[in-house]
Amino acid sequence: MTSAPATDAASQTRLKCDLLVIGAGSGGLSVAAGASQMGASVVLLEGHRMGGDCLNYGCVPSKALLASAKAAYGQSTSAAFGVAEVAPTVDYAAAQTHVQNTIDAITPMDSQERFEGFGVRVIREFGRFVSPTEVQAGNHLIRARRVVIATGSVPLVPPVPGLETVPYETNETLFDLSHRPEHLLIIGGGPIGIEMAQAHIRLGSRVTVIEGERALGGDDPEAAAVVLDALRNEGVVIAENAMAAQISGEAGAIEVKTRDGRRFTGSHLLVAVGRKSNTDRLDLAAGGITPSKTGIKVDAALRTSNRRVYAIGDVAGGMQFTHVAGYHAGVIIRSALFGLPSRAQELHLPRATYSDPELAQVGLTETEARARHGDGVELARFDFAHNDRALAELKTKGFIKVMVVKGRPVGATIVGHQAGELISLWSLALANRLKMSQVAAMVAPYPSIGEINKRVAGAYFSPRLFDSVLVKRAVRFVQRWIP
């Protein structure tokens, strides 16, 4: 990387580098660290917090708050284990301190100092294109051989009349609350809304989820129903087909009116209807970059319409998950650094909702598989109620089902204890086009929840072995002749 003092009045600094990364979230950090350690000169731009949404407002704080909620819930639901139940005394501010402590423990891994130690030039400014080959960041004008846009996404705030007149939270502000909401209204029944609903009901709030269509509508309906029933049993009110039409009130007394005339009142409002790609500051037109309805238009190699510029993670307009951004980083490093062909695939990318029970999916759902493969789809299923470890821990709600075509899995749905952990095996299977026979060949320790993955593979083969007339005839024939 080279730099030279500028001669203009603004004392602009001009930089040249091999790779310019815009955005220090999970995807951008992965690209910057990998490229720099492989010998490329790298400049990294971040105008806000290092670590991006996941560390500061998303994955990390939400899971920390869920952990506090789980501890509280365990105190009041222990009688079946022979342990006296007590009403938990929840210190909401202390729970939020646990959230911040968790963020603080991870922050050094994403810090400016750490990445400067890798040799990355970190500039704490937002970047915008001023031409197809140059990006302005503060008083720096940067020309790079390749540019990676990794600016992520921000909460989508819907244009509901009256919303601008009342105080409301998004995932970017929720974890700053120091007092527990008395009654939390959540507009949006997707993963964020459902996770925060369960966290707050367990921490002592009343909670109402207001969903315009079907809660967890992007997931397998049968699996989603298991999660939603669990939340309703804990006291969460889930109103579906309830499109918000008008919001009014003030702090502590907020009302949401829906199109069909229903009214919901609460003390706090969380807006969790989705996310939008973070492109407003970039001036894509100046960079010769074509936007899309969901972010930036990219091809299978994650290249934009400007062939020197890539877009990864949320801003690429596809699946919005931290692990997807990390996967994208690996895809483009192969292309940008080594000039090798590299394409992003989606079939093996898992997703999970960290409710209790958890809900996870990879590949095609049952509906999607039948739409694509018709009668060629076979379904293998195994229930948590038949797993010995789940019985011991009273975690019997849920099931796994695997969609199989010509002996190979094309998708897996898991709802139940540790579903987010269990789904990884099926991501491996899809990524490597494994057969069900190869999954069945693995050995899982007994007793473990992980046995569910092996048992569902066994369920796929059971009819072939135990219901087959040919197999039974073969066994009888062999038994007559072996010594």
pLDDT in tens, 244-282: 999 999 999 999 999 999 999 999 999 999 999 999 999
Amino acid 464: pLDDT: 67
Q: Domain 351-466, what architecture?
A: 2-Layer Sandwich (3.30)
Q: pLDDT tens digits, the chain, 483 residues: what are they?
A: 655 444 454 578 999 999 999 999 999 999 999 999 999 999 999 999 999 999 999 999 999 999 999 999 999 999 999 999 999 999 999 999 999 999 999 999 999 999 999 999 999 999 999 999 999 999 999 999 999 999 999 999 999 999 999 999 999 999 999 999 999 999 999 999 999 999 999 999 999 999 999 999 999 999 999 999 999 999 999 999 999 999 999 999 999 999 999 999 999 999 999 999 999 999 999 999 999 999 999 999 999 999 999 999 999 998 889 999 999 999 999 988 888 889 999 999 999 999 999 999 999 999 999 999 999 999 999 999 999 999 999 999 999 999 999 999 999 999 999 999 999 999 999 999 999 999 999 999 999 999 999 999 999 997 766 566 676 677 677 777 777
Helices (H), 191-344: 191-202, 221-234, 322-338
Tokens standing for residue 13: 């600094």
SS3 content of the chain, % helix, strand, coil (to 5): 40, 25, 35
Q: Are 453 and 444 in contact (CB under 8 A)?
A: yes
* H/E stretch holding 420: helix 419-431
**Nearest 10 degrees: CA dihedral of 211, 216, 218, 223?**
-150
Fold of the 163-273 domain:
FAD/NAD(P)-binding domain (3.50.50)
Amino acid 463: pLDDT: 74
- CA-based Rg of the chain, rounded to a whole angstrom? 26
The structural domains of the chain, with segments of one domain joined by +, span: 2-50+111-155+277-338, 163-273, 351-466
Amino acid 339: pLDDT: 86
Fold of the 2-50+111-155+277-338 domain:
FAD/NAD(P)-binding domain (3.50.50)
CA distances to 298, 300, 409 from 427, rounded to whole Å, are 24, 19, 10
In order, the DSSP letters of 437-482 are: HHHHT----SS-TTHHHHHHHHHHHHHHHHS-HHHHHHHHHHHHH-
Domains 2-50+111-155+277-338 and 351-466 share a fold: no
